[in-house]
């Protein structure tokens, strides 16, 4: 699995993991983000199938036991079906997830529910050591209980499935989007199909417009930075959602 440093502040660093060349073709490609600082969090650690490669790669960056927090942006299997495997390695880590999903995510491992931090609908601050992040509500994008994570210091917004691109199997998305116009074809169908509500999208855009976003990091596909952040938000704002099914 490939990994690289994404951004660095005075005392915390963002890493991105993904583009695993050994990944089985039928398993959708995902990006995992690791924020290493005084305390460490792994965002959407991924499914059981990719766990061996994620854990191997994370161990190249930090000792595994340093992971004290996980974000589970929503309930899908590619987000955190590896929960019991990670909890074996990081037994005291806390898992941040929407309160509405706690009973469902418990199906991945009920033994760990006491580690769940049930995030209320309005989101919350996430304090890791001296760093403070925000859990930004993104309900119905696509999940009915969905959170993104914003790092105000570096201006990085982790957006889960918003901004995701599904690439054909033979195509590897560049880690950072290089050509927005040609990238749209890989995002459009996904967003039209998976994101059901224009109203939810508009609420999210209103919230995000108040943040100083320099980088948008989705869980699938390429990262947007620089001008591409604004281009993505404009494109997403004009897309008729919930319009891809018959």
The backbone region for 190, taken as left when phi is positive above 0, alpha when psi lies in -120 to 50, beta otherwise, is alpha
Binding mask 8-37 vs other proteins (x if CB under 8 A, - otherwise)?
--------------x-x-------------
Task: Show the binding pattern over residues 43-82: x = contacts other proteins (CB under 8 A), - = does not.
Answer: -----x--xxx-xx-xxx-xxxx----------------x
Is the CB of 61 or the CB of 211 nearer to other proteins? 61
Measured from the CB atom, is 81 or 159 closer to other proteins?
81
82 or 146: CB nearest other proteins: 82
Binders of other proteins in range 88-127 (CB under 8 A): 88-89
Distances (CA, A) of 66 to 13, 171, 216: 14, 34, 25
Q: What's the closest the beta carbon of residue 110 comes to other proteins, in angstroms?
A: 12
Q: Rounded to the nearest whole angstrom, what is the least distance from the CB of residue 189 to other proteins in the complex?
A: 30
The span from the CA of 19 to the CA of 197, in Å, is 30
Q: Which residues contact 52 (CB under 8 A, 6 or more apart)?
A: none
Nearer to other proteins, 30 or 222 (CB): 30
Size of the residue set binding other proteins (CB under 8 A): 20
Q: How far is the CB of 184 from other proteins (least distance, A)?
A: 33
The reply to whether 240 sits near other proteins by the rule CB under 8 A is no
> According to CB under 8 A, which one of 37, 68, 84, 155 is a site residue for other proteins?
84
What is the nearest approach in angstroms of other proteins to the Cβ of residue 16? 18
Q: Which is nearer to other proteins, 84 or 155 (CB)?
A: 84
Residue 167, C-beta contacts closer than 8 angstroms, at least 6 positions apart:
29, 173, 186, 221
Residues interacting with other proteins, by CB under 8 A?
22, 24, 48, 51-53, 55-56, 58-60, 62-65, 82, 84-85, 88-89
């Amino acid at each position: 699995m490939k990994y690289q440093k994404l951004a660095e502040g005075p005392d915390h660093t963002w890493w991105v993991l993904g583009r695993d060349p050994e990944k089985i073709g039928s398993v959708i490609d995902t990006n995992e983000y690791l924020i290493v600082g005084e305390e460490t969090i792994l965002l959407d650690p991924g499914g059981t199938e990719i766990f061996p490669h994620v854990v191997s790669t994370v161990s190249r960056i930090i000792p595994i036991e340093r992971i004290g927090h996980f974000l589970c942006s929503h309930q899908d299997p590619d987000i955190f079906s590896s929960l019991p495997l990670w909890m074996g390695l990081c037994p005291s880590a806390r898992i941040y997830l929407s309160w509405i999903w706690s009973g469902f995510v418990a199906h991945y491992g009920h033994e760990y529910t006491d580690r769940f931090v049930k995030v209320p609908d309005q989101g919350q601050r996430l304090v890791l050591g001296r760093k403070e992040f925000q859990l930004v509500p993104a309900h119905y994008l696509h999940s009915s209980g969905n959170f993104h994570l914003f790092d105000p210091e570096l201006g990085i917004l982790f957006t889960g499935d918003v901004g995701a691109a599904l690439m054909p199997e033979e195509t590897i998305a560049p880690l950072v989007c290089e050509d927005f116009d040609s990238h749209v074809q890989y995002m459009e169908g996904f967003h039209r199909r998976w994101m059901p509500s224009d109203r939810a999208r508009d609420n999210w855009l209103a919230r995000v417009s108040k943040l100083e976003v320099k980088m948008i990091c989705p869980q699938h596909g390429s990262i947007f930075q620089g001008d591409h952040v604004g281009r993505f938000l404009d494109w997403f704002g004009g897309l008729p959602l919930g319009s891809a099914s018959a």
